[in-house]
Every structure is written in C-alpha cells, then in structure tokens.
C-alpha cells in the first residue's frame, strides 16, 4: 500500500510563505547590522557604502515581495495589498501576481528538469527547501536579538510557535492545491521544467496526503475512505 504522509510539522503553503518572509527579514537585518560599524571603512574602495546600501535596498524589495506573497497566501485580497501600498488593486496585482504564482508553483514543483535531459535544478526558496533548519535558526536568532521587554520575551520558540498556530488550515490549503493542479493539468498549463507525467504524479501524491488527513479527522466517513483508496491506487500506478 502506498502511503504519503506530511512531514512532522505539516507546513501549509501559508506557513511556508510566512517562513520565507521571516527569513528575508532575517537576511536584511543581518546586512543592516553589518553596515553600522565603521571599523572596515579604511579598506573600502570607491562608493562602497553606496554599493552596500543598494544591495540592502534590493534585499528590502525582496522582503516586500515576500510580505505580499505571505499576506496573499493567508487570504489577503489584492485590495488589502493595494491599501497597504497606497496604490490600486490592479497595479498591486500586476506588480506582485507573477511572484505569487512562482511561489505557489515552487511549492508544488520545487525540483525541475531541463527539456534536453540535463541535470535537475531547484526553484524553491531556501526557507521552502529547508523549512525545519530555517525555522530552528530563526528561533535562535530572535531569542538572541530580541529586547528584554515585549509579549514574546520568554517564548523559547518565537518563530515556531506562530507558525504552528497557522496549521489548522492544512486540509483546506491542501485541497486548494489539489484543485489548482487539477485545473493546470486540464489546461496543460504547467511551469517550465515540469512534465505532464511529473504533474500527474504530484497530483496523485497531494490527493493521498489530503484524503489521509481527512480520514484521520473523520474516520467514520465512508466516502472519504473510498476516495483515499482510489487516490492510493492512482499513486501506486506511478510507483509500480
């Protein structure tokens, strides 16, 4: 029997988007802290401060993009994003929708393969590729750098705790991924580097994960049991 289980911490798309945003904030914070010291200025050449500030500005732009993606995956409408940015919903969508779609695609297909049969490659952000490692790293970093006062001053896992509080929507978010991939398969509208067969297998894996979670929550539901057996049979075709 083929059984596909979610990881120990069952990350939802929204949780991973929030973790990616936290990691972007961490990277920007680390860069800005390194800018405060003047100790190494004597080794600088040309407009090195301007160059470093430009890099920090690029990191800030990446943080903004990660924030929009995280808000969107948590259910924020484009009108909410537009209000936060003092722009129109149309402009907000045009600016950030491609990045949101890339992130959603990366969650479904983090590993891609070139058409000429070359080596595979990954498109997932580091926080998506290694969520446990990043989460633990950020927990330790926040504990080290937080102020002595504040609502989380005694919380030993300030990143993990907030993420796990978001996990209640796992089934709903997995169902949304299944429906989205179903539509993409029907339309044969798949990301670059993803074959139709790869997408079908991923679709089968997601369905098994979904129905296993639903069956655990509703063991008396016969229809869910039927759907789970069918999903496992579909996935078995790819692993035979």
Q: Same structural domain for residues 77 and 160?
A: yes
Enclosing domain of residue 203? 168-240
Residue 80 lies in a domain: yes
Q: Same structural domain for residues 92 and 135?
A: yes
Q: Same structural domain for residues 73 and 146?
A: yes
Q: Same structural domain for residues 128 and 177?
A: no
Low-confidence ranges of the chain (pLDDT < 70): 1-8, 116-118, 148-152, 240
Nearest-angstrom CA–CA distance, 52 and 77: 34
Residue 229 lies in a domain: yes
Residue 117 lies in a domain: no
What pLDDT does 107 receive? 96
Which two structure tokens, joined as six digits, stand for 53? 């500030």
Q: Same structural domain for residues 158 and 172?
A: no
Q: Same structural domain for residues 178 and 212?
A: yes
What pLDDT does 149 receive? 64
Q: Same structural domain for residues 136 and 209?
A: no
Separation of CA 138 from chain center: 15
Contact, 168 vs 11, CB < 8 A?
A: no
E strand map for the chain: 111-112, 121-122
What pLDDT does 153 receive? 73
Longest Cα–Cα distance in the chain: 73
Q: Same structural domain for residues 73 and 157?
A: yes
Q: Same structural domain for residues 86 and 204?
A: no
Q: Same structural domain for residues 202 and 217?
A: yes
Q: Same structural domain for residues 68 and 149?
A: yes
Residue 29 lies in a domain: yes
pTM: 0.88
Q: Same structural domain for residues 179 and 141?
A: no
Domain count, the chain: 2
Residue 2 lies in a domain: no
Residue-wise pLDDT tens digits, 6-62: 346 889 999 999 999 999 999 999 999 988 988 888 888 889 899 999 999 999 999
Helix (H, G, I), strand (E, B) or coil at 43: helix
Nearest-angstrom CA–CA distance, 20 and 104: 12
What pLDDT does 5 receive? 40
What pLDDT does 115 receive? 73
What pLDDT does 147 receive? 76
């Amino acid at each position: 029997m083929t059984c596909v289980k979610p990881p120990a911490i069952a990350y939802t798309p929204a949780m991973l988007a929030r973790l990616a945003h936290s990691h972007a904030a961490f990277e920007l914070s680390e860069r800005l802290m390194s800018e405060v010291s003047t100790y190494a200025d004597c080794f600088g050449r040309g407009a090195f401060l301007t160059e470093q500030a430009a890099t920090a500005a690029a990191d800030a732009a990446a943080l903004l993009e990660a924030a929009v993606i995280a808000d969107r995956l948590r259910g924020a409408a484009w009108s909410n994003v537009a209000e936060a940015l003092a722009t129109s919903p149309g402009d907000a969508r045009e600016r950030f929708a491609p990045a949101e779609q890339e992130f959603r695609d990366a969650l479904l297909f983090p590993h891609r393969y070139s058409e000429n049969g070359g080596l595979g490659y990954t498109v997932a952000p580091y926080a998506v590729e290694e969520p446990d490692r990043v989460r633990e790293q950020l927990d330790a970093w926040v504990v080290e750098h937080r102020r002595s006062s504040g609502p989380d001053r005694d919380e030993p896992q300030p990143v993990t705790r907030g993420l796990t509080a978001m996990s209640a929507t796992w089934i709903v978010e997995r169902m949304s991924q299944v429906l989205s991939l179903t539509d993409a398969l029907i339309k044969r509208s798949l990301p670059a580097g993803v074959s139709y067969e790869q997408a079908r297998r991923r679709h089968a894996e997601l369905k098994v994960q979904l129905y296993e979670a639903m069956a655990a929550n509703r063991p008396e539901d016969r229809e869910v049991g039927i759907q789970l057996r069918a999903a496992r049979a579909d996935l078995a075709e790819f692993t035979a």
